[in-house]
Structure 1
Amino acid sequence: MLIKDAPVIWEGLRSIICVYKPPSVTCERVRKTIIAAVCKGLNEMECRPPVDFVCIEGNPSGKLTVSVKPSLADDPLVVGPRYIHDDLKCSWSNFLGFNTSGVLLLGLGKGTKVAKLIRENRPTRCYRLSGKLGEATDNAFKDGKVVERTTWRHVKLENMNRFLATLQASHQKEMFKSCGIDLQSEEAYKLACQGPIRPANSKLPVIYGIKCVKFEPPEFVIEIQCINEYETYLRSLIHEIGMKLHSSAHCTAIQCIRHSYFTVENALLRKHWTLQDIITNMEQCIQIMDEHENIIRQKSAALQ
């Protein structure tokens, strides 16, 4: 339903939105762009009229007349637009680096509390990392200076899959060790049934799943499910893969394709960052969260 009343929409800003962050753009730039789009859309709608000004005129010793008229001190032409950038709260639930593109969750208005709750629950994220064999750069990314060139034709898909499986197994083993549980015990099985194990240290990157989804040497694409990751770690991971395969590699692109329940299919592209599309996306995000909460309740009831 199309709402044309700005105050109604302003009060309805109480959840999160899912946008697609382009590469080479900071999260702060995206945040300011979204705020500007919302305020611009609200100011173009029907805003509240100026407050009434009670005017008493006449001779104090004689008859006085009382009139009510719109206050010029509250007119938008005098005080400026009704909705300004500083009035709208906006915070991200997941931080993406400068070179990373993909799913970015933003809380608008009272929805900043929802964004904070998702952030504190530390859900897993899924990335697609593109790499190139044969060259190593000083920052492990494509815009860095090439510091080493090596051969790569000996690298096979089987070798890469073997190393990725070993890497995933080592991360899972370390997770159980940090909990003080034997990996072969029944307690470890019950703990694994409850879902991904969260590390006590929120700054420790943990890989829950990693696989090669595209291998066209020297180009390749890795899909990784992880937590507590950051851009530098993801770039260095591609560099490490190159070294372990007796070659070298650098990262060419980083894309976040899933954050919690939200995927790139739910994300608004830059051309759709308008007020009406943002409101529609917010309603979709609320529906997605409600659906998954019902699924979680059903699974919890079944386990009990």
Structure 2
Amino acid sequence: MGTPAFRLYRSLEGLFAVYKPPGVHWKLVRDMVETNLLRDINCAPRPGPRSHVKFLPQSCGESEECKKMTLVASRLPMLADHPLVAGPQFHKLRVGVGHRLDAFSSGILVLGVGQGNVGLTDMYHSHSTRDYTLEGEFGMATDDFSCQGRIIERTTYGHITKDKLERVLAMIQGANQKALLTYSNVDMRSQEAYELAVKGMLRPQGKSPPIVTSLRCLEFTPPHFTLEVQCVNETQKYLRKLVHEVGLELRSSAVCTGVRRTRDGPFTLQHALTRQHWNLPDITRTVQQTWAAWKNDPVQLAPPEPKTC
């Protein structure tokens, strides 16, 4: 059965999602989760120390006749098993990272422990789509397409309306739909292509450039606007550039003020653990809820049970 610490480690093997805040590198998030898990696992009760037989000198009495020393067998605990000598039971815990988020972006970051790292590889090769919420602002352009970059241009935006914005978004989505058909490697005249298109399951096969499968406006309050994007093979830099291109198509300019991932494959914001829940009990519960469901159906996961404080 193993030690309590080993059983805790085995209960962790699987996939889980955390919420990465903006301004934090994904490596720092992973390292913090790994540190918390190692700390909690190593706090588990240890098995009793092993014992060994040692012969200790012992006097047989205080009289002149009994002053000779004799050796007596005694059972003593092994010092090598003492926590101060042996150190922590686990020194390293391999926590893998799925589709990464840069420091500017926030949202769902899928992590894996043990056999869960195999699940991360399966997610990568499944070409599953991801959802983002993009915050943008008209009227300026920067060298890195974000609001934190160096401003290289200022433009007017009073001529932009929501109808014009939605027409541009429809045009961009149409161009990406053609690219999706090209990279899906499916005969467009076949019944299979028709059924996949109806279900929205067309996916690029192998390597492809970033492709937007859905793009719509959620909010428009000039100069600010919010877009919802569904895409595959994207990077966060590509998404910020997408906001820039929307501004250019509207004969203006725009910068991205926020990138937030709201879905990564079957994982949604409901499955993401916030920072106060990056501990062994909450992660173990989440893994046990999602790992079995993932292996049965990698496309969709049931919402997690409510977290208890």
Query: Could you state the TM-score of these two structures normalised by the residue count of structure 2?
Result: 0.84
Q: Judging changes above 3 Å, is the alpha-carbon distance between structure 1 residues 70 and 194 closer, same or farther for their aligned structure 2 residues? A: farther
**What is the rounded CA distance, in whole Å, between the counterparts of 1:290 and 1:185 in structure 2?**
30
Aligned to 2:177: 172
Aligned to 2:307: none
Can you give the 5+ residue segments of structure 1 that lack an aligned partner in the other structure? 297-304
Q: Judging changes above 3 Å, is the alpha-carbon distance between structure 1 residues 175 and 75 closer, same or farther for their aligned structure 2 residues? A: same
Secondary structure at the residue paired with 1:41? Answer: helix
Task: Tell me which structure has the larger Cα radius of gyration.
Answer: 2
Does residue 199 of structure 1 match 2:215?
A: no
Amino acid at match of 2:10: E
Shift of 1:127: 0.3
Identity of aligned residues (%): 34
Counting helix residues as a fraction of each chain, which structure ranks higher? 1
**What is the rounded CA distance, in whole Å, between the counterparts of 1:14 and 1:166 in structure 2?**
44
Do the aligned partners of 2:101 and 2:109 also contact (CA within 8 Å) in 1?
yes
Amino acid at match of 1:219: H
Does residue 212 of structure 1 match 2:211?
A: no
Aligned to 1:300: none
Q: Judging changes above 3 Å, is the alpha-carbon distance between structure 1 residues 268 and 149 closer, same or farther for their aligned structure 2 residues? A: same
Do the aligned partners of 2:5 and 2:89 also contact (CA within 8 Å) in 1?
no
Shift of 1:129: 0.6
**What is the rounded CA distance, in whole Å, between the counterparts of 2:185 and 2:285 in structure 1?**
46
Match of 1:54 among 33, 52, 55: 52
**What is the rounded CA distance, in whole Å, between the counterparts of 1:279 and 1:202 in structure 2?**
34
Secondary structure at the residue paired with 1:237? Answer: helix
Which deviates the most, 229-238 or 179-188? Answer: 179-188
Do the aligned partners of 1:173 and 1:183 also contact (CA within 8 Å) in 2?
no
Q: Judging changes above 3 Å, is the alpha-carbon distance between structure 1 residues 175 and 155 closer, same or farther for their aligned structure 2 residues? A: same
Aligned to 2:125: 120
Q: Judging changes above 3 Å, is the alpha-carbon distance between structure 1 residues 89 and 203 closer, same or farther for their aligned structure 2 residues? A: farther
Can you give the 5+ residue segments of structure 2 that lack an aligned partner in the other structure? 58-69, 302-309
User: Structure 1, residues 194-220: CA drift from partner, whole Å, max 9, x if none?
Assistant: 653332343510111110111111111
Matches within 5 A, 1:101-140: 101-140=106-145
Secondary structure at the residue paired with 1:104? Answer: strand
Do the aligned partners of 1:18 and 1:266 also contact (CA within 8 Å) in 2?
yes
Do the aligned partners of 2:56 and 2:72 also contact (CA within 8 Å) in 1?
yes
**What is the rounded CA distance, in whole Å, between the counterparts of 1:80 and 1:273 in structure 2?**
24
Aligned to 2:64: none
Match of 2:253 among 245, 248, 251: 248
User: Structure 1, residues 103-160: CA drift from partner, whole Å, max 9, x if none?
Assistant: 1110012321222222221211000010000011111001111111100111111111
Match of 2:146 among 141, 146, 161: 141
Aligned to 1:7: 6
User: Structure 1, residues 149-175: CA drift from partner, whole Å, max 9, x if none?
Assistant: 100111111111111111111111122
Match of 2:90 among 83, 93, 100: 83
Aligned to 1:226: 231
Q: Judging changes above 3 Å, is the alpha-carbon distance between structure 1 residues 78 and 239 closer, same or farther for their aligned structure 2 residues? A: same
Secondary structure at the residue paired with 2:12? Answer: coil
**What is the rounded CA distance, in whole Å, between the counterparts of 2:10 and 2:206 in structure 1?**
37
Q: Judging changes above 3 Å, is the alpha-carbon distance between structure 1 residues 185 and 161 closer, same or farther for their aligned structure 2 residues? A: farther
Aligned to 2:76: 69
Do the aligned partners of 1:129 and 1:251 also contact (CA within 8 Å) in 2?
yes
Aligned to 1:302: none
Does residue 156 of structure 1 match 2:161?
A: yes
Match of 1:280 among 282, 285, 291: 285
Query: Could you state the TM-score of these two structures normalised by the residue count of structure 1?
Result: 0.86
Do the aligned partners of 2:136 and 2:254 also contact (CA within 8 Å) in 1?
yes
**What is the rounded CA distance, in whole Å, between the counterparts of 1:46 and 1:290 in structure 2?**
31
**What is the rounded CA distance, in whole Å, between the counterparts of 1:191 and 1:129 in structure 2?**
27
Aligned to 1:264: 269
Q: CA-atom RMSD, angstroms?
A: 2.6
Aligned to 2:21: 22
Do the aligned partners of 1:136 and 1:249 also contact (CA within 8 Å) in 2?
yes
Secondary structure at the residue paired with 1:285? Answer: helix
Q: Judging changes above 3 Å, is the alpha-carbon distance between structure 1 residues 41 and 187 closer, same or farther for their aligned structure 2 residues? A: closer
Do the aligned partners of 1:55 and 1:66 also contact (CA within 8 Å) in 2?
yes
Aligned pair count reads: 288
Shift of 1:5: 3.9
